[in-house]
Chain A
Amino acid sequence: MATDMTAQSYGDVNLEDPVSGRELLIRGNHDFHYVTEAVCSVAEMKLLDTPKPWVFGWMLAVSVLAFLGSLILYLIWEGVGIWGNNNPVGWGWPIVNFVFWVGIGHAGTLISAILYLFRQKWRTSINRYAEAMTIFAVICALVFPGIHVGRIWLAYWLLPLPNQMDMWVNFRSPLLWDVFAVGTYFTVSLLFWFTGLVPDFATLRDRAQHKVAQVLYGIVAMGWRGSQRHWNHYEKAYQIMACFSAPLVLSVHTVVSFDFAVSQLPGWHTTIFPPYFVAGAIFSGFAMVQTLVIPARAWLGLKHIVTIKHIENMNKIILLTGSLVGYAYTMEFFMAWYSGNEYEGFTFINRMFGPYWWAYWIMMSCNVFSPQFYWFKKLRTNITFSFILSIFVNIGMWFERFVITVTSLANDFLISSWDYFVPTWVDISMFIGSFGLFFTLFLLFVRFFPVIAIAEAKSVMPEADPHYHPPHDDHPAPAAAASA
């Protein structure tokens, strides 16, 4: 075999490839250059040629963001009394929104780090979106605890900085752990995202037609030349970053769940919270990826790069994590009964049938029942259905955090202190405003960034195989030669 590299041995190599025989991740008979063109054409569009729907959408998002900004000024001026938070519900929508957004961020890290380490090649078409979504979702999340501290000008007290008060952060408080967990998560996610972007920024730099674009892409490309040595360092750096990020998928939402689980409140004080929160976070994150990717792939003309295969794979994860969350809900009920603790028991019965029954059943229907449709291949490969269901999951996961936060606080040990939580218009507007922030950033990303990891997507194409022969008339393809 060493002496004679026959067509037979080509066939052997192809057969040993575990991916061979599976569905192509990038459809159509395209070469490398085609992928570069498909991805870069969006970012390279002239500013004045920007599609009208994008301009309209971005303006809308910026207006909503400006509204959020003015509401935050109003909050600083007036104080947290403008929210519906009351006594006993001291943690209202701001915390619900924080957990909601942080949770969404988790799919990005899962796709970029864990699927990478497990060599799941289908991640390459969607990881850039998911990582961008992570960064923007964490930014949205950070807004809420930042403004929830009340006296915003003292928000730096969250950090252990030396000061004349000799005042140190409380290391026994899970709220502080949260600061570190989310801070680490944001930093690592941002670096990971950026590392992956460097070669693609260099592509955009080299193709740039305009001086300004060339300089701007040139700065972020950090002098990337695409040499063998560069790629060698890059792959190592990317792997190291992936190893840093992988534990964060588990740790961040674990620590977020400690905000609740470390307290003594029935409905919060349970050991199931960390895994349950992590599953929920991945669940909500993948739903949000679907919500964003399904329209984006259509509008940007990337349907053959983000294929139905990708959508289906994500739907499978949604089914898995949705069922895990359903298991956690059930197990919470079981433990409430099994513990024999009357407060715990009451809390869960109260969740289901108490004053917030509607929120509980929205949560159950959206999070537990609706993903079960994905047992059917027909439904999980239906684009429209996937999009609609992803919206339902987003709604359900917001309500999960609402149910956890509000029901436990509103009806605690002392009946005389019970109260019903009603959000004010400011609560609702701020939540909508956070979507303005998110979409302002996301639309900028879609317009000016390489939305697909170009270099990585190429690596899963047949052309990436060193033994690949493009089919020619005068030179039969290896498979044909092998069978001959």
Chain B
Amino acid sequence: MQIFPRWTNEIPKFAPPVATVAAVFAVFVVWFWFSPKHTDVGYAPRQPIPYSHKLHAGDLGMDCRYCHTNVERSAHAGVPPTQTCLNCHNIVRKNSKAFALLRDAKHLGDDGNQTKDENGVGELKAQGPSVPWLRIHKVPDYAYFDHSAHVTVGVGCKSCHGRIDQMVVVQQQEPLSMGWCLTCHRNVRYFDDRGYEPADVLRPLDQVSITDMTYGKDHPAYAGWVSKAREKAKTLRPPTVECSGCHR
């Protein structure tokens, strides 16, 4: 006795392939659209002060390390204190409305002079609120990352942060995912059989500054450096599959 129409006989034939395709598609969706390559790259929040890296690092040619002072010595490159901004901006455009937050942080009046406390004594008050800069490049807490370890072997700022000197508003260029880290960590020492060129990420520190945003295949120092970079890469021991290398 049949209670369903004849065409339902086709369902069992098509159900398994459809289910398989659906499962594969679900995996693809998570792999592709949930990955930092898709969710994080291009993150460019509006900062509390419209600071332009293009103007400062690009047009004016300031060294990254003028503000990010700890990059060669510590795990963190560091966000500069307000004072670093004011080194120039207590003279340059000191009354600009854009700097209201800077002045708040240092308890400076709109005229750029220090405000007095309620007793009228010219003493500096306690520190005001810091400028609430938004962090863009963020590696999770459970992943240990050390700027100094990378910078001192010649991995330039550009490799991970992109052409900051051309960004009016800074945005994330690379996924900063674990897989992205590992493409370099796994391959940099095995350029022979993996087609990975160490000179692309390592630069000759004696010829090219770590902050030089123009370093790349077209750079005059590149051609002579390739073989030396390979030698250098062999001496490196970046954590690869040892979990505790980064997840300490």
B26 to chain A, nearest CB (A): 10
Contacts A163-B31, A164-B37, A223-B9 given; does A206 touch B1 at CB 8 Å: yes
Closest to B36 in A: A164
Cα A166 to Cα B177 in complex, Å, equals 9
B87 CB-CB contact with A under 8 Å? no
Please provide the chain A residues from 150 to 173 with a CB less than 8 Å away from any CB of chain B in the complex. 161-167
Assess whether B92 is interfacial by the CB under 8 Å rule. Answer: no
Question: How many angstroms from the CA of A225 to the CA of B1 in the assembled complex?
Answer: 7
Select A205's contact among B1, B8, B9, beta carbons within 8 Å. B1
B118 to chain A, nearest CB (A): 49
CA distance A373 to B1 in the complex (A): 51
CB contacts under 8 Å to A, within B1-39, are 1-4, 8-9, 12, 27, 30-31, 34-37
Q: Given that A161-B31, A223-B8 are known contacts, is A166 also in contact with B1, CB under 8 Å in the complex?
A: no
Partner of A165 from the list B8, B12, B177 (CB cut-off 8 Å) is: B177
Most buried by B among A167, A214, A215: A167
Give complex CA distance A167, B31 in Å.
12
Question: In chain A, what residue has the closest Cβ to B182?
Answer: A166
Closest to B11 in A: A222
Q: Which of B3, B8, B27 contacts A161 (CB 8 A)?
A: B27
Give every chain A residue within 8 A of B179 (Cβ-Cβ): 163-167
1/0 per residue, CB under 8 A from B, across A219-231: the answer is 0001101000000
Give the docked Cα–Cα distance between A205 and B9 (Å).
16
A218 and B31 contacting across the interface, CB-CB below 8 Å: no
Complex Cα distance A223/B175, Å?
51
Contact B27 A218 (CB under 8 A): no
* Chain B residue contacts of A161, Cβ below 8 A: 27, 30-31
Q: From residue A438, how far is it (CB to closest CB) to chain B in Å?
A: 27
Count of B interface residues, CB-CB < 8 Å: 21
Report whether B2 and A225 are in contact in the complex, using a CB–CB cutoff of 8 Å: yes
**Chain A proximity of B27: nearest CB distance (Å):** 6
Docked pose: A214 CA to B2 CA in angstroms: 10
1/0 contact trace for A195-235 toward B, CB 8 Å? Answer: 00000000001100000001100100011010000000000
Nearest A-chain residue to B177, judged by Cβ: A164
Given contacts A161-B31, A223-B9, contact A215 B178 (CB under 8 A): no
Complex contacts, A165 vs chain B, CB 8 Å: 177-179
In the complex, chain B residues whose CB is within 8 Å of the CB of A205: 1, 3
CB distance from A216 to the nearest CB of B (A): 11
Cα distance A223–B35 when bound, in Å?
Answer: 44
- Is B178 within 8 A of A164, CB to CB? yes
Q: A218-B3, A222-B12, A223-B9 are in contact. Are A166 and B178 (CB under 8 A)?
A: yes
Q: How many residues of A contact B (CB 8 A)?
A: 15
Q: Is the beta-carbon distance between A214 and B12 smaller than 8 angstroms?
A: no
Chain A residues, Cβ within 8 Å of B9: 223
Question: Please, which residues of chain A bring their CB within 8 A of the CB of B2?
Answer: 223, 225
**Chain B nearest CB: distance from A257 CB in Å?**
27
Known: A163-B179, A167-B178. A223 touches B4 (CB 8 A): yes
**CB-based contact A215/B175 at 8 Å:** no
Nearest neighbor of B31 in chain A, beta-carbon distance: A162
Measured between beta carbons, the chain B residues less than 8 angstroms from A166 are 178-179, 182-183
Question: When the two chains form their complex, are residues A218 and B4 in contact, meaning their CB atoms are under 8 A apart?
Answer: yes
Tell me how far the C-beta of A26 lies from the nearest C-beta in chain B, rounded to whole angstroms: 27
Q: How distant is the Cα of A339 from the Cα of B114 in the complex, in angstroms? A: 84
Q: A161-B27, A164-B36, A164-B37 are in contact. Are A215 and B182 (CB under 8 A)?
A: no
| Shortest beta-carbon distance from A164 to chain B in Å | 4
**A222 contacts across to B, CB distance below 8 A:** 12
The digit string for B173-187, where 1 denotes a CB below 8 A from any CB of A, is: 001011110110000
Interface string of B103-118 (1 = CB under 8 A from A): 0000000000000000
With a 10 A CB-CB cut-off, give which of B9, B12, B30 has the most chain A CB atoms: B30
A161 to B3, CA, bound (A): 41
Provide the residues of chain A in CB contact with B37, threshold 8 Å: 164
Contact partner of A215 among B3, B30, B177, B180, CB < 8 A? B3
Query: Which residues from 32 to 61 on chain B have a C-beta closer than 8 Å to any C-beta of chain A?
Result: 34-37
- List chain B residues, Cβ under 8 A from A206: 1
A223 to B177 Cα, complex, angstroms = 50
Q: Mark contacts of A35-79 with chain B using CB atoms, 8 A cut-off: 1 yes-contact digit, 0 otherwise.
A: 000000000000000000000000000000000000000000000
Q: A164, A165, A223: which has the most chain B beta carbons within 10 Å?
A: A164
Q: In the complex, are the beta carbons of B1 and A162 less than 8 A apart? A: no
Nearest-neighbor residue (CB-CB) of B37 within chain A: A164
Complex Cα–Cα for A215 and B4 (A): 8
Instruction: For residue B32, give the distance in angstroms from its CB to the closest CB of chain A.
Output: 9
**Other-chain residue from B3, B34, B35, B183 in contact with A214 (beta carbon distance below 8 A):** B3
Query: A354 to B1, alpha carbons, bound, how many Å?
Result: 66
Distance to closest chain B CB from A174 (angstroms): 19
Whether A164 contacts B3 by the Cβ 8 Å rule is: no
- Chain B's closest residue to A223 (CB) is B9
Q: Quick one: which of B34, B36, B179, B180 has the most chain A CB within 10 A?
A: B179
Give every chain B residue within 8 A of A162 (Cβ-Cβ): 27, 31
Measured between beta carbons, the chain B residues less than 8 angstroms from A214 are 3
Chain B's closest residue to A163 (CB) is B31
The complex places the Cα of A164 from the Cα of B174 at a distance, in Å, of 13
* Other-chain residue from A164, A167, A215, A218 in contact with B35 (beta carbon distance below 8 A): A164
Question: Which of A163, A167, A206 gathers the greatest number of chain B CB atoms within 10 Å?
Answer: A163
Which residues of A lie under 8 Å from residue B8 when comparing CB positions?
223
Interface string of B154-187 (1 = CB under 8 A from A): 0000000000000000000001011110110000
Which residues of A are interface residues toward B (Cβ below 8 A)? 161-167, 205-206, 214-215, 218, 222-223, 225
Known: A163-B35, A215-B3. 20 other contacts (CB 8 A): A161-B30, A161-B31, A162-B27, A162-B31, A163-B30, A164-B31, A164-B34, A164-B35, A164-B36, A164-B180, A165-B177, A165-B179, A166-B178, A166-B179, A166-B182, A167-B179, A205-B1, A218-B3, A223-B4, A223-B9
A-B contact pairs, 18 of them (CB 8 A): A161-B27, A161-B30, A162-B27, A162-B31, A163-B35, A163-B179, A164-B37, A164-B175, A164-B177, A164-B178, A164-B180, A165-B178, A165-B179, A166-B183, A205-B3, A218-B3, A218-B4, A223-B8
Closest 9 CB pairs of A and B: A166-B179, A164-B35, A165-B178, A164-B177, A218-B3, A162-B31, A166-B182, A164-B179, A206-B1
